[in-house]
Structure 1
Amino acid sequence: MIDDHRHRILQAAARVYTLHGWRGATTRRIAEEAGVNEVTLFRHFGSKDALLEQMMRDLAAQKDQMRLPDVPQNPERELIAWAKAHHSETCGKRPLIRQMMSDFEERPDLVPCAVEGPHSAMSQLRRYVSQLHAGGFIANAVASSEVDAAVTMFMGAVFADGMNRDVMPIMFTQPIDDTLRAYVRIFLRGLHALPEAVWPLAELQVSAPLTSSSE
C-alpha cells in the first residue's frame, strides 16, 4: 500500500504539473488527483519541491528497453532500436517536457533533476562507441572531441524529432522509421564505422585506442 500510494502520487504529480506548471501544481491538486490526503503526500515526500523533483527524476530515468547492449552484435540494428525507444519516450512525454522547459528560466534549480536521464543516455552511448571500437566495428582511432560531437548530434536529432514532428511537419517529411535509420547511418559513418559486409572480420582486427591524442 505504501508503494502504491507513492506511485499514485508521483503519477498524479506528473499529470498536474503538465497542466499547471510548477506554480499551479499545488499539493492540494496533486493529492486530489492521486486520491489521497495532503498528509499522506507530505509523509512520503516531505514537500512539494521534493515531490516534483522526484517526479522529474523518475520520468527522466533510463528504461530497460532504452539500454544498449554491453557487447555490440549489430550496431545499426541496435542503435535503431535504441533510437526508437528514446523517440517514443520523448513523444509520450512531449507536453510534460515542454512544461519543464518553460519553467527552467524561472527555476534553473530544476535543470539537474530533468537532465539526469539525458546525461545517463549520453554516457551510455559513449560507452557503446568504445565497445564498437573494441569489437572491431570501428577500425581507426577517433578523437574524443569527434565522438562527443557525434553523440551530441545523434541524440539532439532524435530528441528534436520527437519534440517537434507534431508542430513542424515541414521539417520531418520522411516516415519516422526511415528518418531514425538515416540518423543512425549518418552517426556510424561519422565515426568511420566499418560497413556491414566486413563485420565478420572485425574480431580478427587489432584495435587501436579509441581516443587520439592529436586532434
Structure 2
Amino acid sequence: MASQSISARQRLIQAALELFSTHGVSSTTTRQIAEKAEVNEVTLFRHFGNKHGLLLAVLEESAAFKDLGESLVRRATPPGNVYQALKDYASDSLHSLERIPEFVRSVVGEADQFPAENRRALGRGLTEANRYLAQYLATVIQQGDINTYLPAEKLASLLNGMILGYAVIEFTSEFHELWEDRDDFLENLVELFLHGAMSSAPRSAKEAIVTKEVADLPAILVHKILQNARKSGVQDYALAYVLLGAGLSVREIIGLQQMHQVSDPQGLILQITTPELPRQVPVNQWILGKHYGSYTNNPLIKWLKSRKDNYPAMFIDHAGNSISESELLQRWEIWTQGLLTPQGKPPEIAQAQQTWCVEMLMRGMSLEELSMLTGCDRSQLQPYARRAKEKAALEAAIRLDHKPA
C-alpha cells in the first residue's frame, strides 16, 4: 500500500491530527488512531507511550510548523527586513492554524477537561513552538538589527501568544469588529511589536549612534573617502562632508531640506526635524586635523550655490526628489571602493557617525554636550568616551616616544 511508504510514526501523527480535529482530543481513542494509521495499538504505545505523548508529538512535529520555524531561522543570516520577516511568520502561522481549525477549537475548548499529562503536553508543545522564533530573534538581536530590553524567549512568547489569541477569536467568533481584516491585524501586530517591545535599528539618530562596540575610522581613511567623493561630483562631496562633519544618520541626511540650513555668524548649522530628535547640529570646518573650508565656503555651501533649480530637498536625485537611502549607500560604496578599515573590512556608512562622535570627544567636548547634539543619554555614549580615552592614551604614548629620556 502507498501508505506503507510513510513511517508508522508519521502515519500515527497524521491520523491523530485528523481525528483530534474531527472528534476532539478527549473523545478520540488510541484504538481509533491506530486503526486509521493502519497499525496496532502496541505500535502507538511503543512510539508515544500514551495519547498525551502522541498529542505532544502532533504539536511538536507538525510539518507545517516545523518548516515555518526553520524557514524563519534561515532568514536571520544574512539579516533581511525584520518587519517583513515577522509579518510573514505571523501570516504563515495563521494560515497553518487555519488548515486545522477544528483541532485548534478542540485543544482550546477542551483544555480544562484534559488530564494533567495532556495539559503538560500542550505546554511543552507551545514551548517548542517558541523555540524557532526565539532562535530567530536572538540572532537578529545579536547582529544588532533590533534593539530590545526583553530576552528573545520572552519576545517569542509574546508574539506567538498574540498570534494564537487571534486564531482562537477568528475560529470561535468571526462576527467581531476588532480588526478590519487579517492584514489589518498583522500590520498592527508587527508595528506594536517592533516599536513597543523592541525597535528596528537604526530608525533614528539615537538608535544609530548607540552601539556596544565603537569602530571609528582613521584619519587617513576619512580624508581618502572625502577625496574620492570630491572626484564624484559637487553633490557627492557635500554628502560626504555632512556625513563626516556633522555626525548625522543616513535617515537624517536624506530628510534635509534647503531651508534647514541655519544662518549663524559663528558657523554652519543644520536644523534636524525628525520627530524623535529635533535639534540643531553644527557642521565642522575641521575634520580629523584637515580644514575643509569656512562656514561660508565649504563643500555643502558650494553644492547649494551650484543649484539652478527650485527643488526643496538639500540632496536630490535626477528627478529632483530627495535622495533615497539606497542611493546614498550606493554612493558610499563608490567612495570607499577598494578601501579597508584596520579590521580588514570595507568601511560602513554608520562608522562615519561613530567617527564624528569620537572626534568631538577628542577635541574636548563633554559627554553632556555630545548628549545634547545626539539626543543620547550620557550612559549610552560611554563606549565613545572609552574609545576617545584609548586614542588619547595612544597619542600620549607616541608623544613620549618622541622625547629623549
TM-score when scaled to structure 2? 0.42
Match of 2:179 among 152, 161, 173: 173
Structure 2 CA distance for partners of 1:70 and 1:37, relative to 1, 3 Å: same
Q: Indicate whether 1:14 and 2:21 are aligned.
A: no
Q: Which one is further off, 87-96 or 38-47?
A: 38-47
Structure 2 CA distance for partners of 1:115 and 1:203, relative to 1, 3 Å: farther
* 3-state SS, counterpart of residue 192 of structure 1: strand
* 3-state SS, counterpart of residue 146 of structure 2: coil
Structure 2 CA distance for partners of 1:202 and 1:28, relative to 1, 3 Å: farther
Q: Indicate whether 1:186 and 2:192 are aligned.
A: yes
* 3-state SS, counterpart of residue 9 of structure 2: helix
Match of 1:113 among 92, 115, 121: 121
Q: Which one is further off, 195-204 or 54-63?
A: 195-204
**1:187 CA displacement:** 1.0
Match of 1:136 among 135, 144, 149: 144
Q: Which residue of 1 aligns with 2:76?
A: 70
Match of 1:160 among 159, 165, 188: 165
Q: Deviations over 1:44-95 (max 9, x none)?
A: 5554454344334323984223323333221111111111121112222322
Q: Which residue of 2 aligns with 1:5?
A: 8
The CA distance in 2 between the partners of 1:65 and 1:56, in whole Å, is 13
Structure 2 CA distance for partners of 1:25 and 1:127, relative to 1, 3 Å: closer
Q: Indicate whether 1:31 and 2:38 are aligned.
A: no
The CA distance in 2 between the partners of 1:164 and 1:120, in whole Å, is 23
**1:117 CA displacement:** 4.3
**Conservation of the 8 A alpha-carbon contact between 1:86 and 1:158:** yes
**1:188 CA displacement:** 0.9
**Conservation of the 8 A alpha-carbon contact between 1:165 and 1:171:** no
Cα RMSD for the two superposed structures: 3.5
Equivalent residue letter for 1:101: V
Equivalent residue letter for 1:143: Y
Structure 2 CA distance for partners of 1:8 and 1:65, relative to 1, 3 Å: same
**1:38 CA displacement:** 4.1
Q: Indicate whether 1:86 and 2:89 are aligned.
A: no
* 3-state SS, counterpart of residue 88 of structure 1: helix
* 3-state SS, counterpart of residue 180 of structure 2: coil
Q: Deviations over 1:176-201 (max 9, x none)?
A: 22321221122111113233975877
* 3-state SS, counterpart of residue 195 of structure 1: coil
The CA distance in 1 between the partners of 2:86 and 2:16, in whole Å, is 32
Structure 2 CA distance for partners of 1:18 and 1:62, relative to 1, 3 Å: closer
Matched positions, count:
204
Larger relative strand fraction: 2
**1:150 CA displacement:** 5.0
**What is the aligned-residue identity percentage?**
25
Structure 2 CA distance for partners of 1:46 and 1:148, relative to 1, 3 Å: closer
**1:6 CA displacement:** 2.9
Equivalent residue letter for 1:183: L
Larger Cα Rg: Structure 1 or Structure 2? 2
* Larger RCO: 1 or 2 (CA < 8 Å, sep 6+): 1
Match of 2:103 among 96, 102, 108: 96
**Conservation of the 8 A alpha-carbon contact between 2:65 and 2:96:** no
**Conservation of the 8 A alpha-carbon contact between 2:83 and 2:190:** yes
Structure 2 CA distance for partners of 1:47 and 1:185, relative to 1, 3 Å: closer
